[in-house]
Chain A
Amino acid sequence: MAKYRLTVNGSEKTVDVDPSTPLLWVLREELKLTGTKYGCGISACGACTVHVDGVATRSCVVPVSLIGKREIVTIEGVASSPLGRAVQHAWVEKDVVQCGYCQSGQIMSAVALLKGTPSPTDKDVEESMGGNLCRCATYVRIREAIASASRQIKGAA
C-alpha cells in the first residue's frame, strides 16, 4: 500500500492503495465517484474515460502510481468548464441516452474532441469517438449532440 495525493475535480484527495490499482477503482471505490463506469477493463470500450491533464484517459488501465501530479476530471466535474456544460446540455437536448451505462465515457471523449477540434468533421468524430462503444447504438444521437455542442461553443465565442 502507498499514499497518493490526487487532484480530482479541483479538490485534493489522499488515498492509501496498492500502487497497481487502476485509477478507475480509486475513483469508484475510494473516492465514491461512481459516475465513471467499468466496462471491459482493457481499454476497449471507453466507458471508464476521464480526463488526466485534459487528455481523455482510459482509467481502467492506468495504475494510480503513474498519475503523478496530473489533474483528474471525471464526469462529476466536467460541467465546471463552459465546454463541458455545452456538451452536457447538448446530450440532454438531443436525448442521447438510452440505458446510459457508456454515456459518461462518451461525454468525456466528446469534450476532449471538441477541446482539440471545435468544429469536427464526420471523420474527426468517427476517429475520436471510435473507441467508445454503445450497446444501445446511440451513435446517431451522439453525433447530433456533438454537432449541437460545437454550434453552441462557436455561438458563445
Chain B
Amino acid sequence: MFASIRLLTTVFVLALFAITISLAAKPDRVNTAAGLAAWDQVYSVLVSPRCINCHTATNYPQQGDDRHRHFANVVRGPEGFGVPGLNCMSCHQESNADSTGVPGGPTWHLAPLSMQWQDVNDRPLSSAAVCRAVTDRSKNEDMDGPSLLKHHAEADLVLWAWNPGRRPDGTMRTLPPISHQEFVAATRTWVEAGTPCPKGR
C-alpha cells in the first residue's frame, strides 16, 4: 500500500517538474523568436542611409540616399571627427542648417571603425554581421543591452535620423523605414529577449 502511494507521489512530482520545465522553456523560445523579429526591424533602421552613411568601413563618410562618397575630399581623421583643416564641424553645426541644406547635430562625427556596418566596397553587412558587431562589447564602447536601448532612445545623433532636415534643394531628407518610437520598442523587445542574433555570416 505504502509502496503504491510512494510510487504515485513520485510520478506526480516528476510530472509536475516536467510541466514546470516545459512552461518555463516555452516563453524563452517565444522571446527569442520575438527578439529576432524585433532585431529585423532594428537592422532595417541601422542600414538606412541616415544611419549607415556614418558607419563606413572606409576613410570617408557617405551622403545621400544613394550613399555616395562625401564630397569635398572629406576624410575620417584619427578620431572620426575629420582632420584639423577639414573637420566635420567645418560645415556641420550643432543643428540642421535648413537654409543651406547642411545637416547638423551635437558632436557630428563618424562612428568608429569597430562599428562599421558595411564592407570596404560600401555594401551593407548582413543582418547577422551587424548584430554581432552591435552586441560585441569590445567593439561597441562596452554597451550592454540596456545601454544599447538607452543609446537608441536618447543619443543625439540617433535622434537626428528622424529629424534630418532639408537637402540643399529644399526637399526633406528621407527618414528611416520605421518611426523612432517603433525603433525603440523593437530595440526593447530585442534587448529583453537577450539581444539574440540571426545565424549565419
The reply to whether A109 and B85 contact each other, CB–CB distance below 8 Å, is yes
Do A66 and B91 form a contact, CB below 8 Å, given A110-B85, A113-B85? Answer: no
**CB-CB < 8 A to B93: which residues of A?**
62, 66
The reply to whether B86 and A56 contact each other, CB–CB distance below 8 Å, is yes
Whether A15 sits at the interface, judged by CB under 8 Å, is: no
**CB-CB < 8 A to A60: which residues of B?**
100
The reply to whether B85 and A62 contact each other, CB–CB distance below 8 Å, is no
Interface size class of B (residues with CB under 8 A): 20 to 34
**CB-CB < 8 A to B85: which residues of A?**
56, 109-110, 112-113, 116, 127-129, 131-132
* Chain A nearest Cβ from B64, distance in angstroms: 14
Which residue on chain B has the smallest CB distance to residue A116? B84
Kindly identify which residue among B71, B77, B95, B100 contacts A61, using a CB–CB cutoff of 8 Å: B100
Whether B158 sits at the interface, judged by CB under 8 Å, is: no
Do A58 and B75 form a contact, CB below 8 Å, given A22-B100, A63-B100, A124-B83? Answer: no
The reply to whether B104 and A66 contact each other, CB–CB distance below 8 Å, is yes
Could you tell me how many residues of chain A have their Cβ less than 8 Å away from some Cβ of chain B? 31
**CB-CB < 8 A to B90: which residues of A?**
43, 49, 55-58, 131
* Chain B nearest Cβ from A74, distance in angstroms: 15
The reply to whether A131 and B87 contact each other, CB–CB distance below 8 Å, is no
Which residue on chain B has the smallest CB distance to residue A130? B73
Kindly identify which residue among A55, A114, A127 contacts B77, using a CB–CB cutoff of 8 Å: A127
Mask, A79-121, CB within 8 Å of B = 1, is 0000000000000000000000000000001101111110000
Mask, B90-131, CB within 8 Å of A = 1, is 110111011111101000000000000000000000000000
Listed by A's residue number, 9 A-B pairs whose Cβ atoms lie within 8 Å are: A42-B168, A56-B87, A112-B84, A124-B84, A127-B83, A128-B83, A128-B84, A129-B86, A130-B75
A residues lining the B interface (CB < 8 Å) = 20, 22, 42-44, 46, 49, 55-58, 60-63, 66, 109-110, 112-117, 124, 127-132
